[in-house]
Structure 1
Amino acid sequence: MQGNCLPLKEQKETFVQDMFNAIAGRYDLMNIVMSFGLDRAWRRFTTQRADLKPGGHGLDICCGTGMLTIELAKATGPAGKVTGMDFSEKMLAVARENVQNNKLSSTIQLFQGNAMKLAFEDDTFDCVTVAWGLRNVPDIEIALREMVRVVKPGGKVVSLDMGHPSVPVFRQLYWFWFERMIPFMGRFWCNNKKAYAYLHDSARVFPHQQELVRIFTQYGLTSTTYHNLAGGVVAVVEGKKPQGK
């Protein structure tokens, strides 16, 4: 391991897959607890930024338990389609339960796959989203390149993930809380302190939202920007694939 709980790059895929398989059953509950219930509003905002129209086709990679996938389905409606993909079989099992309980279940297709090598043709989807997923792939740029490849010209690529607060004092208090409390909560709720210590450490090294905008631009996206939520604790980064690309 490098750092505290960060795997080496070549070990990351297996480490992350095993970790999410271990915490899948309590993942949604922990999201609510850690975000003080704000995670639903964050997903709704991400869906708005994805600009998926009724009847459109969206892709949600690293979909986890399918909560953002369901929000996208609400946007596209019964005439559209949303594909959710994750490589953790146990997270997908929870996602299938969540989707079955939703009236738009027929709109959603879930399958197991790898964000680093998307099994889709070029220019397939009206939008591609990822929530708390880029932080967990072995190579952010490869995953982003794949997202850009499969989105249609004019379509949006949108990431929801941890940000880096910049307000003095609040920034220090936030990282102190994250470092001390999140692993404790992970041990209490999921009996897995190590997994939630990893979430802290991976958030620390994840690119600042401004840097992620630069990477989005580097891979050909235009109108790139970011939106800070909760004081920059969470950030939504977006870009549009140019027409004719």
Structure 2
Amino acid sequence: MVHIPSPYRSKEEYVHAIFSSIAHRYDLLNTALSFNRDKYWRRFAAAQTGLQPGGYGLDVCCGTGMLTIEQARLVGPRGRVVGLDFCENMLAKARENVKKTPFSEQIQFVQGNAVNLPFPDNTFDCATIGFALRNVPDIRKTISEMARVVRPGGKVVSLELSKPNTPLFRQLYYFYFNHLVPLLGRLGIGFDGPYSYLPNSLKDFPHQREIKELFSDVGLADARYYELTGGIVTVHVGNVV
């Protein structure tokens, strides 16, 4: 289990504090620590949504809005995308990021919780979650909520860090992730803590095969996954029926 330091009473409270503290550097460090692969990962994930021009997408735990923006590229000027997050600082950064794009009129940001989405059933054409499934208090409930608010025929898509299967590559990756990422993160934000949480959160996160089973268990059809960059990240996809 991820250690929750005092004075935080829950994982949710701890995660909120972490992302509030790093929102201002989150995008820069994501790009640096992923060697600029994060942009490709998000575009690949967005491509799995099946979104069409004029569509209506939801990005859960949207953070700074980067995956939300990728959805907006797909739905075009006639479409809409909602980005939801529980962290005020991340939403503020997301709004700032969107102002730099042509998509300001298409994107709406709302504050809310992934395990209790404030939307009616069958509202969206898709729901995505990027690099956040391992941070939610209840993985199954989050996937179930995403499926609930997507119309039949739509898709639920998760982009998340995962566990490489090739032994040598896995060892190299874990050395980088467990030792160098916390160091580089500390240098990037000026204090310790948040980027030490990252490797710890992955240790307790289910293997990509187990996440696929969760997708099926909540009723998503044709659950499948794609391992990218040697399995550093995985994109899961399920169809709403």
TM-score, structure 1 normalization? 0.95
In the other structure, the counterpart of 2:92 is 93
1:30-179 aligned within 5 A: 30-179=29-178
Tell me the residue number matched to 2:28: 29
Structure 1 residue identity aligned to 2:29: M
- Measured at CA, do residues 176 and 103 of structure 1 come closer, stay the same or move farther in structure 2, by a change above 3 Å? same
Q: Tell me what 1:210 maps to.
A: 209
- Kept in 1, the 8 Å contact 2:2–2:204? The answer is no
TM-fit CA distance, 1:178 = 0.4
Q: Compared with structure 1, are the counterparts of its residues 233 and 47 closer, same or farther at alpha carbon in structure 2 (3 Å cutoff)?
A: same
Give the CA deviation at 1:10.
Answer: 6.3
Could you report, residue by residue, the CA deviation over 1:173-221 in whole angstroms, capped at 9, with x for unpaired residues?
1101100001101110012321111111101211111110000000000
Summarize the Cα distance change of 1:208–1:53 in structure 2 as closer, same or farther, 3 Å threshold. same
Q: Aligned equivalents of 1:5 and 1:137: distance in 2?
A: 14
Give the length in aligned residue pairs: 240
Which position in structure 2 is the counterpart of 1:192?
A: 191
TM-score norm. by structure 2 comes to 0.97
Residues 1:173 and 1:6: Cα distance change in structure 2 (over 3 Å): farther
Q: Distance in 2 between matches of 1:35 and 1:5?
A: 26
Q: Secondary structure at the match of 1:121?
A: coil
- For 2:221 and 2:76, the matched residues in 1 are separated by 27
Unmatched tracts of structure 2, length 5 or more: none
The answer on whether the counterparts of 1:59 and 1:127 sit within 8 Å (CA) in structure 2 is yes
Question: Which of structure 1's runs of 4+ aligned residues deviate more than 3 A?
Answer: 2-7
C-alpha distance after superposition, 1:133-179 (max 9, x if no partner): 11100110111111011010010000000011010111111101100
User: Matched residue of 1:85: which SS?
Assistant: strand
Runs (5+) with no aligned partner, structure 1: none
